[in-house]
Chain A
């Protein structure tokens, strides 16, 4: 790049100029609608969320509708990546201009976010407004409450369920799994699918996902952390190696070895790939959040089947915990902004919004009034299977092992159990892999408890 010729330099500058021009023109064309919306003097309420796909579209619609419904506030939604990333972003930006006024944070971060002291409990606004909190599903509320104070508002709430392709099963004359299946029920369907389709269809996949690992334990009635999963006090150790956990992992590993199950890996790519395979009829069954229903029904010509989360053979299912996330209000913003954030939360929790939310996404409508809404009734009529997640939630009796784990560092726990799952899926010794994860998690808990002075 040493000798520059005048003509060529002109050419380069010209090329660069064209690119810049294109960007500016394109940008100004694009940003016009936004500029109009900002016309009136409104208070900006920055809202961080981690929703993707149809859920993000629905959320954006809610935001637009809310902004149209009043003139005081303008909610600005920002997608902040996956749940794990968002937690540290929230903590790290607190007290700066970059921080959100209201944010969505996942179920397992509840203890951690609460302990930072960075939020205003929504209880304060519930009391001030005499908001009828009883209209919101009690099971979901309890997950995000501490000593009678509602810390955050449950928002997207899901149940882990098993999806199967009913049309495919019919095609190969396979009896569908029962509504509350055991491991061997699933094995049977997976094996038959592989055999009868001559390996054109893969039987089943269990994503490498710590959440699913936790739910296997919950459904077997086993505590993951001591002190009753943290419900009776700060946990000091975890247990990843209970007999039923070993049985579960062996069940998956054996099936992977036989080729009845398939491994799509971990993370967003795994979810994309299993969904794509399922929709294209190359995968018969998979475990995922009930929130995927939206994706799995739009544009899917095959009949979708849904069952409860599978449980170990020879015992009753204990029930699974809810998953999802809740909405929090940051305390580093003015009272006016916090009030706007609360108004927005109330808007999201109306019977109408919640019904629409369930129809669009598969997350359960938390407002009791939603069940009467026409959109939801229509969905139940059209796809009776969509009732299953709600039924599963109601079928379980809440106890210490199926109401979530109150432990800080659950992100670490998920990373570690996911690593163990990956090792197991690739054929490693089950007990050894889980013990390694357990050991790392215990030393993490000890360090964390020490650092925070618990």
Chain B
């Protein structure tokens, strides 16, 4: 739900005359603006400074040190924490697991979300009910989702296990075998994401002008052709937006992992944020965990920049 509000909305697009207005505005400015600015912006700047800017610098600083058993930086080691991390097979595995998870989540969320939206956009009797149902997971928080799915995947009492038994399929130990555990975590995340993705894509599909479809139908285009040549291009900006939001969200995943697998089995679901948590708040290895934080921040910053670039394009249009 969270990122929904940042969807580019047509009404927030500034009109061309904004620059003009801006100029007019500056005529009306008063001398004492400085004090107002301090009063108006002060609180925000203080909070952002203390809890966003300073910590980033501090994390960078800590990442160059070894920390002692009460968490104080004691020995300067330069980039050694980074070198150790990038050459450690465990950390490489964590990066790889994160990549698999992120790609799995983004692809499945978009494909299923699009399917839901495409099905719900048609006018059928009772379609309102389906639209409500499809958006329902927006009201689910991470721990509730984790508990529901934990039960479904749990051995011997879980739903999948019971279905497997009924059909005499080989027993899958969902959460204790590396591959299936990753699948289980991806399924749960995708389910949790679907409500939001559905609503955004559904909104985009509704905005596609009907005449486009009618015109192509007259030309004898198949629904399939229409989907790939009318629908997809028309909603591609929204698709891009949704995918970056989902992607960044997936990189930050922690709660589901913590509740469902605690990074296991065999570190198969040990995603980047979980690794930071484990090294810092379980092992007390704050220097190393800071280096991991920096790497995580760089990756997320890159994708956010990408998203900004896109938003900028939309806004200037």
Contacts and interface: CB of A to CB of B under 8 A. Distances in A.
Interface stretch (B171-179, B210-218, B229-237, B242-250): B171-179
A374 B212 CA distance: 87
Interface string A210-227: 000000000000000000
Interface string A1-14: 11000000000000
Contacts of B264: 208, 265-267, 422
Nearest to A450: B75
Given A87-B284, A450-B66, A92 B266 contact: no
A90 B201 CA distance: 47
B83 to A, nearest CB: 11
B284 to A, nearest CB: 5
B178 A426 contact: yes
A91 interface: yes
A448 B75 CA distance: 10
B47 interface: no
A295 interface: no
A273 B155 contact: yes
Interface in B245-295: 262, 264-267, 278, 280-285, 287
Contacts of B89: 436
A426 B69 contact: no
Nearest to B264: A266
A440 B265 contact: no
Nearest to A269: B175
Contacts of B175: 265, 269
Contacts of B84: 443
A56 interface: no
Nearest to A437: B90
Interface string A414-434: 010001001100100000000
Interface string B69-89: 111001100000000100011
Contacts, number: 100
B90 A419 contact: yes
B156 interface: yes
B8 to A, nearest CB: 14
B59 interface: no
A92 B156 contact: no
Nearest to A89: B281
B66 A408 contact: no
A179 interface: no
B74 A452 contact: yes
A91 B74 contact: no
B283 A451 contact: no
Nearest to A416: B90
Contacts of A451: 66-69, 74-75, 287
B29 interface: no
Given A265-B264, A419-B266, A426 B284 contact: no
Contacts of A448: 66, 69
A180 interface: no
A348 interface: no
Interface string B146-165: 00001000111100000000
B176 A264 contact: yes
A-B residue pairs, 3 tightest by C-beta? A265-B176, A422-B266, A451-B66
